[in-house]
A and B are shown apart, each in its own frame.
Chain A
Amino acid sequence: MGPITAPSLSYTALSPLLFVFGAAAVGVLVEAFAPRAVRHPVQVALALVGTVGAFVATLLLAGTEEVTAGGALAVDGAALFLQGTIAVLGALSVLLFSERAVDPARSAFVAVAAVPAGSVRDRELATSSRVQTEVYPLATFAIGGMMLFTASNDLLIMFVALEVLSLPLYLLSGLARRRRLLSQEAAVKYFLLGAFASAFFLYGLALVYGATGSVRLSAIRDAAVTEGGDTLLVLGLALLVVGLMFKASVAPFHTWTPDVYQGAPTAVTAFMAAATKVAAFGAVLRLLYVAFGTADWTWRPLVYGLAIVSMLVGAVLGLTQTDLKRMLAYSSIAHAGFLLTGVIGLGPGDSGYGLAATMFYLLIYGLTTLGAFGLLTLVRDGDGEATHLSQWAGLAQRSPVVAALMAFFLLALAGIPLTSGFTGKFAVFRAAIEDGAWPLAVVGLVASAIAAFFYLRVVVLMYFSPAAPDGPTVGVPGLPTTIVLAITAAATLVLGVLPGAVLDLAESAAVLVG
Chain B
Amino acid sequence: MSIANYLVLAAVLFTIGAVGVLVRRNAIVVFMCVELMLNSVNLTLVTFARSTGTVDGQLIAFFVMVVAAAEVVVGLAIIMSVYRTRRSASVDDVNLLKY
What residues make up the interface of A, taking CB atoms closer than 8 Å to B?
1, 113-114, 116-118, 156, 159-160, 163, 167, 170-171, 174, 180-182, 184-189, 191-192, 195-196, 199, 202-203, 205-207, 209-210, 213-215, 258-259, 262-263, 320-321, 326
Given the complex of chains A and B, what is the CA–CA distance between A159 and B71 in angstroms? Answer: 13
- The size of the chain B interface, using a CB distance under 8 A, is 47
B96: CB under 8 A from chain A? yes
B9: CB under 8 A from chain A? no
Task: Tell me if B85 and A118 are in contact (CB < 8 A).
Answer: yes
Given the complex of chains A and B, what is the CA–CA distance between A114 and B98 in angstroms? Answer: 26
What residues make up the interface of B, taking CB atoms closer than 8 Å to A?
7, 14, 17-18, 21, 27, 30-31, 34, 37-38, 40-41, 44-45, 47-48, 51-57, 60, 63-64, 67, 70-71, 74-75, 77-79, 81-82, 84-86, 91, 94-99
User: In the complex, what's the smallest C-beta–C-beta distance from B8 to chain A, in angstroms?
Assistant: 13
Q: Within 8 Å CB of A195, what residues of B?
A: 31, 34, 71, 75
Q: How many A-B residue pairs have CB under 8 A?
A: 129
Given the complex of chains A and B, what is the CA–CA distance between A1 and B78 in angstroms? Answer: 44
Partner of A188, one of B34, B51, B57, B94: B94
Q: Within 8 Å CB of B48, what residues of A?
A: 206, 209-210
- Looking at chain B's contact residues, is the secondary structure mostly helix, strand, loop, or mixed? helix
Task: Tell me if A167 and B74 are in contact (CB < 8 A).
Answer: yes
Task: Tell me if B75 and A259 are in contact (CB < 8 A).
Answer: no
Given the complex of chains A and B, what is the CA–CA distance between A113 and B64 in angstroms? Answer: 29
Partner of A116, one of B31, B54, B84, B98: B84
Q: Which of A170, A206, A210, A213 is packed against the most chain B CB atoms within 10 Å?
A: A206
Task: Tell me if A263 and B97 are in contact (CB < 8 A).
Answer: yes
Partner of B14, one of A163, A203, A210, A259: A203
Task: Tell me if A181 and B96 are in contact (CB < 8 A).
Answer: yes
Residue on A nearest B21 in the bound complex, by CB:
A196
- 6 additional A-B pairs beyond A184-B82, A191-B75, beta carbons within 8 Å, are A174-B78, A189-B94, A192-B21, A209-B45, A259-B98, A263-B96
